[in-house]
Chains A and B, each alone.
Chain A
Amino acid sequence: MTDAILTVEELTIRFGAVTALDGVSLSVAPGERVALLGHNGAGKSTLFKTVLGFLQPAGGRLSIVDAAPGSNVARRAVSYLPEQVVFPKALTGAEVLTHFARLKGVAPKAALPLLEVVGIADAAGRAVGTYSKGMRQRLCLAQALIGTPRLLLLDEPTSGLDPISRREFYTVLEASARAGTAVLLSSHSLSEIENRIDRIAILAKGQLRAEGSLADLSRGAGLPIRIHVEAAEGRVEAVHAHLGGERVNGRSVVLTCRAEDKVGALTSLAALGSDVTDIDIALPDLDDVYRHYSVPIVEGAAQ
């Protein structure tokens, strides 16, 4: 893909004997939101630092808007939210934002409204030392949004945010993506990013284990869907005879099927008419999907 903002090909990063990234390929297009998932030490932060030009690849290539990482062109295109950052306690939120706006060549006047966007405008004049964890995280996000960057690199941006703040965060992110910003963010939870991300890449032990939409990943994992069928009074044998599956607690039948067989199962259910009083479909738990891709290899490594 040549129109991608970020292209990573066969990237390998080593720290002495540790291979933090092992032949990772990934690309992010304008307006696309990609989530990077992986266990602790999977290599997520390492990938961000390499994209910023802080680490030298032992192999592979990467380019940001067709420029080398760390080059002037790349630095102007990229905005970063680090995993851990503590702003000077004595500065106010507005001063921090003004500082970074000037570093990025953006007029402070144009940047300050971002405090409103992330919901800490009330605290703009207060010292950062008095901010709560979530407020500091919001300030960090405001900093990253300065100057409508072409590529947003967000390393665990929602850590420390409460569920409502997380939703607000993804709303802000959606607006950025709609304006054409390419977003690469890391996270530890699949369920959190459901419906809020276009594509997911799962890293484990420095290797890219899976990549695609959430639906692709669920299908690829081949985890079963469970359909809970409640039969009408005295009709449970008939239902069981027709559908197969497993009988539970007198009135119910539980079917397990693969994602691609779901429609077929529902069609045969419909044929039962009034014998069925209720249906409940449980899709595979998202954290199960995540575990499917990332856990086996981690356990294997631990042995």
Chain B
Amino acid sequence: MNSMDRMAAVAATEFRLAFRNRWVLLSTLAFTLFALALAFLGSGPSGALKADALTLTAASLSTLTVYLVPLMALLVSYDSIAGEIERGTLALVLATPLKRGELVVAKFLGHLAVLAMAIAIGYGIAGAVIAGVHGADDAGLVAWGRLLVTAVLLGAVFIALGMALSSLPRQAGTAAALAIGAWLILVVLYDLALLGAVIVDQGGMFTKTVFPALVLANPGDAFRLYNLALIEANAPIAGLDGLARTLPFPVSSAFVVLVLWLFAGLAVAWALTRRIRP
């Protein structure tokens, strides 16, 4: 039971600190504004298409989420271990009965609580506004709820990755650089590289077999595929997202990929923190 209390203490302090960090508040605000802007831009023509506004916006919001949620998750977590080494508090914390595994899990939970709150606020406000203006049907509410839950899962993946990267260097600055690099590679460059490969391949073997698996292997793409494939709307989708209609795997595999990323990230973070000499 002591273990639970220790972890609760760490998680509560992380939550409190992230909450008082103006960057977290600012990014929540930015996220909400983006979601609202998309809601109005995306729901404008919905009356004409006779599709539910919530459903349509969910599709465009999933793309926004792939960029913003990983960024916010890394912002919350990059400092978590390296920063404590640098400030000397890790030595102090590890001198108490707190175990390293407990530290990793508790910090993760504290960060996740902050991020889940930010996502819920952003999606909540945008969803309420759309539903208030255009009304909402059941399918729309389900799509919205699914988007919210999987966005939190995507955030959890990147918090775990951020913590793993934070366990490598001894300086918070280096950890920040690693986090930015991870975001660029996983969220931006990965998709560009795949698109380039598809163009070069011109519908050959790569496009038919390897490409879908590679798309699915990326947490951001898995998140987007999962949501788009389940959204019953003929919203125009382009690029990699076209795969959502022709995915050669069951849709649930995208969800499984996210969960696997989460556990892999946490396991790596835990293994790396075990090697740290504070």
Contacts and interface: CB of A to CB of B under 8 A. Distances in A.
Contact of A103 (B10, B20, B87): B10
A90 B2 CA distance: 26
Contacts of B10: 99, 103
A54 B278 contact: yes
A103 B277 contact: no
Contact of B92 (A72, A85, A98, A105): A85
A80 interface: yes
Contacts of A82: 88, 91-92
Interface in A63-115: 72, 75-76, 78-80, 82-88, 90-91, 95, 98-100, 102-105
Contacts, number: 74
A105 B95 contact: no
Contacts of A76: 97
A85 B98 contact: no
Contact of A54 (B8, B9, B277): B277
B252 interface: no
Interface string B1-24: 010011011100100110011000
Q: How large is the interface on B (under 10, 10 to 19, 20 to 34, 35 or more residues)?
A: 20 to 34
22 contacts: A49-B277, A49-B278, A52-B91, A54-B91, A54-B278, A72-B97, A76-B97, A82-B88, A85-B91, A86-B88, A86-B89, A88-B89, A90-B16, A90-B20, A95-B16, A102-B6, A103-B9, A103-B10, A105-B2, A105-B5, A143-B92, A153-B95
Nearest to B276: A54
B92 to A, nearest CB: 6
Interface residues of A, number: 29
Q: Which of A49, A78, A90 has the most CB of B within 10 A?
A: A90
B174 to A, nearest CB: 18
A104 B88 contact: no
A52 B17 contact: no
Nearest to A56: B277
Contacts of A177: none
Contacts of A85: 87-89, 91-92
B95 A91 contact: no
B96 interface: yes
Contact of A99 (B9, B97, B277): B9
Contact of A105 (B88, B89, B97, B278): B97
B93 interface: yes
B33 interface: no
B96 A104 contact: yes
Interface string B69-93: 0000000000000000001110111
A53 to B, nearest CB: 8
Interface in A32-74: 49, 52, 54-55, 72
B199 interface: no
A244 B2 CA distance: 72
Given A80-B91, A82-B91, 6 more contacts: A52-B94, A54-B91, A75-B96, A79-B95, A85-B89, A91-B13
A103 B14 CA distance: 14
A214 B93 CA distance: 34
A102 B5 contact: yes
A102 B9 contact: yes
Q: Which of A55, A85, A91 has the most CB of B within 10 A?
A: A85
A95 B98 CA distance: 18
A157 B89 CA distance: 15
Interface string A120-144: 0000000000000000000000010
Contacts of B89: 85-88
Interface string A240-252: 0000000000000
Q: Which of B2, B93, B95, B96 has the most CB of A within 10 A?
A: B95
A102 B8 contact: yes
A79 B5 CA distance: 19
Contacts of A153: 95
A95 B21 contact: no
B92 A80 contact: yes
Contacts of A103: 6, 9-10, 93, 96-98
Given A84-B88, A143-B92, A90 B97 contact: no
Contacts of A98: 9
